[in-house]
Structure 1
């Protein structure tokens, strides 16, 4: 199972966090708690600004 890691900026507090592109569970912002990633069964839906691809596999 290959997937990418992304640096995502939270829309609410502008915290930057690394998330997995195929996340199997909801990922919340570590600072404000808003949802950054929701699983869809494949590529996850990202709810913030993707700044860069940290690691492509």
Structure 2
């Protein structure tokens, strides 16, 4: 499976969380519950700020 993992900063609480770029389910912030990624059928739409690429494949 090809895809990248991104460290995404939540826009509301600044929590950083690792998100798969092809997430198939909505990803919420573990602290405040804000949506960080929304699935689109391919690459997910990342709502937060991408801080870094954790692992590239």
Check whether TM > 0.5: yes
Structure 1 gaps of 5+ residues are: none
- How many residues of Structure 1 are paired with residues of Structure 2 in the alignment? 57
Give TM-score scaled by structure 1 length.
0.98
> What root-mean-square deviation, in Å, do the aligned CA atoms of Structure 1 and Structure 2 show?
0.4
Give TM-score scaled by structure 2 length.
0.98
* Runs of 4+ residues deviating >2 angstroms: none
Q: Map residues 1-57 of structure 1 onto 2, 5 A cutoff.
A: 1-57=1-57
Structure 2 gaps of 5+ residues are: none
